Amino acid sequence: LSNSAVPVTDIIESVGYDNTSYFYRIFREKYGMSPKEYRRKP
């Protein structure tokens, strides 16, 4: 995520998740932030 300009939704689909909301929830539980927030962090 941090080294890619590919849209987050495209990455989510490419790794096999059908449900974007579910991925966002699991990602937030693990990392404490959304994928978009993770991408923006320095």
Q: What is the mean pLDDT of residues 17-38?
A: 95
Domain count, the chain: 1
2 within a domain of the structure (yes/no): no
Confidence of residue 3 (pLDDT cuts 50, 70, 90): confident
29 within a domain of the structure (yes/no): yes
15 within a domain of the structure (yes/no): yes
> The whole model's pTM is what?
0.79
Q: Residue 24: which of 39, 6, 4, 42 has the closest Cα?
A: 39
pLDDT at 28 over 90: yes
List the single range of 1-5, 15-19, 26-30, 34-38 with lowest mean pLDDT.
Answer: 1-5
17 within a domain of the structure (yes/no): yes
3 within a domain of the structure (yes/no): no
1 within a domain of the structure (yes/no): no
How would you write the chain as a 3-class SS string?
CCCCCCCHHHHHHHCCCCCHHHHHHHHHHHHCCCHHHHHHCC
Residues of the domain holding 19: 8-40
